[in-house]
Amino acid sequence: MRRRAANEKKMSNTIVVGAQWGDEGKGKIVDYLTENTDVVVRAAGGNNAGHTVINGGMKYILHLIPSGILWEGKMCVIGNGVVMDPLGLLLEMDKLRDQGVKITPENLLISETCHLVMPYHKALDHVREARRGDKKIGTTGRGIGPAYADKVERDGLRAILLTQPEILEQELRTRIVTHNETIVAAGLLPILVEETVADVLKAAEILAPHITNTTVYCHEAIRAGKSLLFEGAQGTYLDIDHGTYPFVTSSNTTAGGACTGSGVPPRMIDKVVAVAKAYTTRVGSGPFITENEDIGDMLHNMGREYGATTGRARRCGWLDAVLVRYAVMINGADELAITNLDGLDGLDTVQICTAYKLRGQTIHYPPSTIAEIEACEPVYETHEGWRQDISGITAFADLPPLAKAYLKRLEELTGARISLLGVGPSRDQTLVA
């Protein structure tokens, strides 16, 4: 693997997005790219996302805090587009500190306008999932959807209230009482008012020093010549507008969401890197054209593909180049980072979905409705597997020729150059193409 010189020019402002249904290994890629950046910004989603980073033999699992927190001297920002669970954030901070990670207002800032996820949002999440019956979305139950719903309905609580405890207490009490009617009617236990208020106010006292206008901070950093790295959450096909609706999350997970969720305009973005696994996975319900039970069994037996947030086994299948190509287009991706190539090491043959058959017609883009997606059949091309352990390879040039051929074909099918390659979970198992 090429190591960058200390005096090498820092990277430009870059957005990292998922090109599939999330869980593509964005945390690992962000962690790797952070070495040559100054500020890492999380701009969407909540603690329903989980990024796993392995370094020095230690596994770090992050949910709200950007992966850049693992590097000294970097500033991490939770932007205005995030919905932030203050109680969940404290637990995350405590766990990271137990692992030796430093977290202070000098390396973690929280937007004063990001919205808060409260305990009643989690209860409402379960209520709404139960009402869907066999049409469940498969949410994590972390209250993300109800929190975004409150935001859109202009009835949410924003992080600035963590610095105004008297107002926060009053607003919180009112909302708990109101939402408990729905929660109890659904057969769930009510949210305990006094206990919840006390917990949130305690969290507010701890988090208040981190609260600031992060939009101003990001612009001042750019003017000072610093580089920003925007850490995507979930993936393109969980985007509320561009994903497999309604089996999506409640925010814009594509590159545009990084701008609206941070206050940094598109003209200040220099590069977009889309991350995709060398195969495809998804968690929860919804259509999955290339899903393959044998691939799933193989990966699960290897101890792979279990969610960092929920521990749920992910659904698995062959790489769907139709999805990745469309994601490259939507996000304006300049480059691809392919992860988990080593997951295919033992296969005699590897398949790539290059198109869909929809009622006899060949199409090269994902349809917009669930009914049409479910009617699609994958069109595969078969490649010979490399049948070799590549996890110890440290230079792209040393990859087996058949692995290189597979990657070359992915470039042709997606229209984006592969710049980074993951051959294992650790930071040092990242190859520069």
51 is catalytic: yes
Single out the residue of 383, 377, 339 nearest to residue 361, CA to CA. Answer: 377
Which residue type does 27 have?
A: G
Furthest CA-CA distance within the chain: 65
Q: Six-digit token pair at 114? A: 């990001």
The H or E element containing residue 356 is strand 349-358
Task: Give the integer Cα–Cα distance in Å for 17 and 92.
Answer: 23
Active-site residue identified among 31, 38, 51, 150: 51
Instruction: Find the catalytic residue in 23, 31, 150, 342.
Output: 23
Q: What is the DSSP letter of 45?
A: B
Please give the Cα distance from 326 to 275 (Å, whole number). 13
| 98 classed as catalytic | no
Q: DSSP 3-state assignment of 228?
A: strand
Cβ neighbours of residue 335 under 8 Å, at least 6 residues apart? 271, 272, 273, 274, 416, 417, 418, 419, 420
Per DSSP, helices labelled H in 83-164 are: 86-98, 119-132, 144-152
Phi-psi region of 24 (alpha: psi -120 to 50; beta: other; left: phi over 0): alpha
Catalytic residues: 23, 51
